[in-house]
Amino acid sequence: MAKILHTGDIHLGAKLAGLGKSGDKVRAALKDAFSKMIDICLESKVDAFVVAGDLFDSNHISKPLLDFAMREMGRLGDIPAIVIPGTHDCLEDNCLYSTLHANECPENLYLFNNPEKTKFAFPDRGLTFYANSNEGTRSKQSPLAGLTRDSSPGYHIAIAHGSLAIPGKSAADDFPMEVEEIENSGFDYIALGHWHSHMRAPTQKVPASYCGSPEPMSFKQTDAGWAAMVELAEGKVLVEKIQVGRLEWKTIELPCTSYKYTLELEREISKYVGENKLLKVILTGIFPADGFIDFDRLYEHMMDSFLYLDLDNRSQSIPENLQELNLPETTILGQYIKMLSADIKEEQDPEQQELLRNGLKLGYALLSGKDAI
């Protein structure tokens, strides 16, 4: 039996443009997640710690950050830490990994930083790892190309940083891997990196998984915040999702017709507060002419209740007295206002009048090219 902790796409030192000072807190969370994974390795007594690329967000990182990563991996003691370059920290000229000195690295670090070195074997642990070094940010060549399982006993694990070749989902120059290629590889498990969501590859014979990023790093990322605990025993492979992240990125879309005043919107946003939450609020629809929301005041009052808060006001204002605009009746919009205004004037039922007024505003918004729905 063998047990490994599989991670990747950690992106230590990520720039996180647009988050302002909150970026520092997210970068700190990335470091905390990395440390937590080292703790899990020690507590679970794993046989190896695997990083499937993009340990760092770029090849230009600070010396303190490099020292942090090396120190953390050094805490593993005799547990080997196997690291491959990804696309952000790829093995290019004068890259981070090619300029590392031996005295900067812990003795248990096994780094695929030589294109000629594609295998590390640990006979005492019954494990052999295989990988190619990503030598750039883009390539049409599979990261599994040329990797061949040898005949030694134990478990044989490939590590690859690239995309599954799925039409419409991956680019042809994004280190593509065909499912058939994985199936015919002969490995016991393939530890994948590059996609930030946890995902099991659609294979039958050879298990392969994306572990997912240990922390999500944008509002678009889903199913991140994990590492993968992989157990290999008696021809079976069990992959368990282990939560290591603490951040929650959430986007909510609110119709402004439901929130006329600042306090009403504040009450709704208050339902999502949390020190580890990054919230994006999108306000849509037609804003009531008799309403008022002070977005500056709202932001100042609520910003400290979140790790990050973004108020995106996409609502549209509609003139209150559309009947008095005197738009040319030769236009479709002018004809629409004239017809609905006449209907409103003739209607005796107050409820029907209100429905017609709302219809008038909605029609005005749509015919004016406003995002009303």
List, for residues 131-147, the tens digit of each pLDDT value.
Answer: 999 999 999 999 999 99
Indicate the pLDDT class of residue 27, thresholds 50, 70 and 90: very high
Tell me what the mean pLDDT of segment 269-298 comes to.
89
Question: pLDDT band for position 242 (50/70/90)?
Answer: very high
Strand 286-287 vs strand 316-317: parallel, antiparallel, or unpaired? parallel
Measured between its terminal Cα atoms, the distance across the chain in Å is 57
| Angle formed at CA 363 by CA 361 and CA 367, multiple of 5 degrees | 120
C-alpha closest to that of 12 among 158, 214, 222, 233: 214
Secondary structure in 3-state letters for 217-274: CCCCCCCCCEEEEEEEECCEEEEEEEECCCCEEEEEEEEHHHCCEHHHHHHHHHHHCE
Question: Could you read off the pLDDT of 288-333 as tens digits, one per residue?
Answer: 666 788 899 999 999 999 999 999 998 876 666 666 666 777 888 8
State what percent of residues in the chain have pLDDT above 90: 74
Average pLDDT score, the chain: 92
Torsion sign across C-alpha atoms 196, 197, 198, 199: negative
Q: Which two tokens stand for residue 4?
A: 């490994």
**CATH 3.40.50.970 for domain 2-243:** no
